[in-house]
Structure 1
Amino acid sequence: MTRSRRSLVVAAAAAVLALAGVPALAADIPPPDAVVTSPNVTHVLNIPKPAAIAATINTDIAFQGDYAYVGNYGGFSIYDIRNPKKAKAVSSVVCPGSQMDVSVYDNLLFTAVDSSRSDDSCNSTSLGADQKAAWEGVRIFDVSDKANPRYVKSVETNCGSHTLTLVPGKGRDRNKNVYVYVSSYSPAANFPDCSPPHDKISIIKVPLRDPASAAVASTPVVFPDGGNETQPGLLVPTSGCHDITTYAEKDIAAGACMGDGVLFDISDRLNPKVTARTTDPNFAFWHSATFSNDARKVVFTDELGGGGAATCNEATGPNRGADAIYEIVRGQLVFKSYYKIPRYQDNSENCVAHNGSLIPVKGRDIMVQAWYMGGLSVWDFTDTANPREIGYFERGPRSVGGGGGIWSAYYYNGYIYAADFHEGLDVIKIDDRLTNSAKDVRTDRLNTQTQESYRTGGHHW
């Protein structure tokens, strides 16, 4: 959307205040639907959702080669991004089942289904989780033909698959199998396939030469003591993990597990072991995790309000619905500070910390992160006690009302890609002295929950 002169003035003033760490006033909230950015951020392109899934919301993104895979409550779409300025949709697969968290590995696309369906097909309908016939879990597609993805296999998992994380095999196993860590939670006594206590993850073993034989290979219990269930203000007590980020080459993982933040040793892929655990009185729901490139820090997000509440306001304050930055010291998590976007949002705008990824800047810790209707923020946590914003992109309140905003914002080969609930896929570029060196770093795959160390000239940093 072309910005009016007024919104340009608002954007410039808000940018100066935000980058100085001063929260915006209500008068600085952009006009409805207006796109505003900091001076160092450019909105390159918006691609509306393909018609086949236009009625349902966009969610997560995975990347491989010249393609982006965007999940959607109604299925997923594949985009050709070889020229980001002219990115376009190649195909859409209608296959309903929230949330459609996505990860890609070679020719296989893995999609997470955490809503009970009548069966595992793409023609399924909703069915209560109290019905034994209900299905939820992981669907696997062959995406070697980008225009015609092919459904290969489904794997049912206890309590479904809210999110999923790919973990490559190690040693001789590396080119033979990939493992899928399935995060799920919220059991109930009347759910036949999701009975309490849950407190575990499901691990699917996928033989790369025979993905149709994929099956659950283990179900390790993460919280044998039940986890954090009594802390005041929890959105939902711990009964499993919401999301797990692995760093396979270092044999570690970080789990955002509802009421707990944990570190895992994943040297045995089928038997991850909790090595550190922490809670935070300001956290309502541990949602996701991101390691620094050197794995000496981890950023956890708090999805206060479950993603549907307006928490980027003065009433909520800077320490709730925020990121918590930890340093890993002798294997333990040591809290350093919080980070939250420094711009108040309108009380009609759902806004809270959500999905993001590192920007590969050597010598610094910088990431881009989605904040629903707070847009996206590029921020620096090199100094863990004093994180600061570098740039941002957002839209004003929706003129038609209701929630929305950016679900996922990730940096991939020079550009930021953002999946907006309603607006589709945004392509964004940041031009700043602190991030410009990232343009020289290239990767051939990005699943943000499967971190890999960055490389330049074929060498790990």
Structure 2
Amino acid sequence: MRGRVVAKTRRSAVLGLIALLTAGLTACTSVPAAAPESPSPSPPASAPAAGAATPPPQQASNIRHVALGAKRAPFDQRGAWNSDLAFQGNHAFVGNYGGFTVYDIADPARPRVVSQVVCPASQNDISVSGKLLFLSVDEPRTGESCESADGGPGPGGAWEGIRIFDISDVRQPRFVAAVRTDCGSHTHTLLPDGDDVYVYVSSYGPQEGFTGCEPPHDKISIIRVPRDDPAAAKVVATPVLFKDGGQKGNLGPFDETSGCHDITVYPEKRLAAGACMGDGILLDISKPAAPRVLDRVQDTENFAFWHSATFNNEADRVVFTDELGGGTSAVCTQAIGPKRGADGVYDIVGEGDGRRLRFRGYFKIPRHQEPGENCVAHNGNLVPAKGRDIMVQAWYQGGVSVFDFTDPENVQEIGYFDRAAFRGDSLAGSWSAYYYNGHVYSSDIQHGLDVLKITHPSAASAESVRTTELNAQTQTSYKE
């Protein structure tokens, strides 16, 4: 989700939102005074919390609903939104504006809460690598710890950036370090490199007079984290990706480029794709701390906000998403049409420094949603099917969609799971939907962790592909 709407209202909007979301959370649990840097996990739970919402009826095609790991207290409030997902072994890690939850998914039909950590922030974008877990903080706070409060744009600035946890024992995650970054961290991307992990931090929406986040902000922050000494993590580079400032404003609903929203890396191919508000970019990441822009594209006719990117397995094609309306609006309607708030499919042509992005086609879910249903293209990943380019993707209240983009000019949906409209006054639907070891896991903002099974024959070959770790923004190849 965009979260930070436009630069001139960035701080006031975020502060108001987070105050609303976390007002109840911080009163629900407490952190022991003797260990202020180590948030206390909630005990395991096997039943929904009292008063938890019952999922409404759903419709589906070529997708079977396997299970729901319902949200647990204190994250079972409507304002405690689930966000992104990461995976390691038999565990799924679910970000939430109040912290994060660890699920045991050894039996996908019975996801079980192992631990919960209360650590409020926007958006708590989450990833894991080895024994380390990373959270993005995209709001000013009084300090780096989980016990900090809303900070506000004071003269000395406030803290926002990346929090790092040790998950050697997933039953007791332990806060170990934090790194402040300019304009915070809306999302982040892990680039493993031997004994180190590089973290590409995407942030945007600077504001005049706000210390640590003033314009121009045409860069990303790169953090180097030594695996054996995460407390030594620090920013090692802040490369400017838009030397000319990127796309300019005054284009109605189209956003001016002032940073990036999300970056996906493909380490084996030494490539990255950046979704940067008004621009889509292709990067050479041969040198992790010094990425180079190879090509840049814009779509001032249909793309309002370049949100995220996914490569195909060969890395000769990439799907960019457009988050028109910021995730809070209903744009999956007949009036909006099939090309706005959609996906754009691009081929990567050429070689070496001559590689370029070439537009091929759009894809948008073919089911119109109700006027009150927030719906737009959001987070997904590649389904490792042999001989096909298939992706699973979240569409908020548009549900979960599976589509085949092997023919980029004729992209076809081959499956979907779509709940009835959420009857409430809050954001709802699938934030992220990712394929992992035979199942699709969807982080439902209101209901919890959905487990789904794709039944379309085109995706059957993916069943045999297994991995030990998945961060959707760090792609790895699979053998066809």
TM value normalised by structure 1: 0.89
The question of whether the paired residues in 2 share the 8 Å contact of 1:62 and 1:446 is answered with yes
The question of whether the paired residues in 2 share the 8 Å contact of 1:35 and 1:393 is answered with no
Q: What residue number does 1:270 align with?
A: 289
Aligned partner of 2:319 among 296, 299, 305 = 299
Query: Is 2:152 the partner of 1:128?
Result: yes
Letter in 1 for 2:229: D
Deviation for aligned residue 1:430 = 1.1
Letter in 2 for 1:448: A
The question of whether the paired residues in 2 share the 8 Å contact of 1:136 and 1:160 is answered with yes
Aligned residue pairs total 420
Query: Is 2:47 the partner of 1:47?
Result: no
Letter in 1 for 2:419: R
Letter in 2 for 1:181: Y
CA distance in 2, matches of 1:393, 1:276: 35
Deviation for aligned residue 1:131 = 4.4
Q: In the TM superposition, what are the counterparts of 1:329-408 in structure 2 within 5 Å?
A: 329-330=349-350, 331-408=355-432
Q: In the TM superposition, what are the counterparts of 1:312-327 in structure 2 within 5 Å?
A: 312-327=332-347
Letter in 1 for 2:384: P
The question of whether the paired residues in 1 share the 8 Å contact of 2:157 and 2:211 is answered with no
Letter in 2 for 1:242: H
Query: Is 2:111 the partner of 1:87?
Result: yes
CA distance in 2, matches of 1:235, 1:58: 27
Q: In the TM superposition, what are the counterparts of 1:220-235 in structure 2 within 5 Å?
A: 220-230=239-249, 232-235=251-254
Q: What residue number does 1:419 align with?
A: 443
CA distance in 2, matches of 1:33, 1:277: 42
Deviation for aligned residue 1:106 = 0.2
Deviation for aligned residue 1:401 = 4.2
* Structure 1 residues 128 and 94: CA distance shift in structure 2, 3 A: same
The question of whether the paired residues in 2 share the 8 Å contact of 1:410 and 1:416 is answered with yes
Deviations 1:407-430 (A, max 9, x none): 000000000000011101101111
Deviation for aligned residue 1:329 = 1.1
CA distance in 1, matches of 2:154, 2:433: 35
CA distance in 2, matches of 1:273, 1:323: 24
CA distance in 1, matches of 2:418, 2:363: 18
CA distance in 2, matches of 1:387, 1:157: 38
Deviation for aligned residue 1:33 = 5.5
Q: What residue number does 1:151 align with?
A: 175
CA distance in 2, matches of 1:402, 1:71: 17
SS in 1 for 2:138: strand
Aligned partner of 1:432 among 456, 459, 473 = 456
CA distance in 1, matches of 2:435, 2:348: 24
Q: What residue number does 2:28 align with?
A: none
Q: What residue number does 1:29 align with?
A: none
CA distance in 1, matches of 2:348, 2:253: 24
Deviations 1:81-121 (A, max 9, x none): 01101111100000001101111000000110001111111
The question of whether the paired residues in 1 share the 8 Å contact of 2:280 and 2:298 is answered with yes
SS in 1 for 2:397: coil
Deviation for aligned residue 1:39 = 3.7
Query: Is 2:212 the partner of 1:212?
Result: no
Q: What residue number does 1:238 align with?
A: 257
Letter in 1 for 2:82: N
Q: What residue number does 1:34 align with?
A: 56
The question of whether the paired residues in 1 share the 8 Å contact of 2:61 and 2:417 is answered with no
Deviation for aligned residue 1:217 = 0.5
The question of whether the paired residues in 1 share the 8 Å contact of 2:69 and 2:110 is answered with no
SS in 2 for 1:435: helix
Deviation for aligned residue 1:47 = 1.3
Aligned-pair identity (%): 56
CA distance in 1, matches of 2:375, 2:153: 29
Q: Which runs of 5+ in 1 are unaligned?
A: 1-31, 170-174, 456-460
The question of whether the paired residues in 1 share the 8 Å contact of 2:249 and 2:255 is answered with no
CA distance in 2, matches of 1:298, 1:238: 20
Letter in 2 for 1:43: H
TM value normalised by structure 2: 0.86
Deviation for aligned residue 1:304 = 0.1
The question of whether the paired residues in 2 share the 8 Å contact of 1:234 and 1:283 is answered with no
SS in 2 for 1:425: strand
SS in 2 for 1:52: coil
The question of whether the paired residues in 2 share the 8 Å contact of 1:119 and 1:133 is answered with no
Deviations 1:4-23 (A, max 9, x none): xxxxxxxxxxxxxxxxxxxx
CA distance in 1, matches of 2:62, 2:319: 24
Deviations 1:150-175 (A, max 9, x none): 00100000000000000011xxxxx2
Q: What residue number does 2:208 align with?
A: 189
The question of whether the paired residues in 1 share the 8 Å contact of 2:55 and 2:447 is answered with no
CA distance in 2, matches of 1:240, 1:285: 12
CA distance in 1, matches of 2:320, 2:57: 28
The question of whether the paired residues in 2 share the 8 Å contact of 1:58 and 1:407 is answered with yes
Q: Which runs of 5+ in 2 are unaligned?
A: 1-53
CA distance in 2, matches of 1:403, 1:153: 31
Deviations 1:424-447 (A, max 9, x none): 110111112101110000000110
SS in 1 for 2:310: strand
Letter in 2 for 1:116: P
* Structure 1 residues 227 and 209: CA distance shift in structure 2, 3 A: same
Letter in 2 for 1:34: P
* Structure 1 residues 206 and 317: CA distance shift in structure 2, 3 A: same
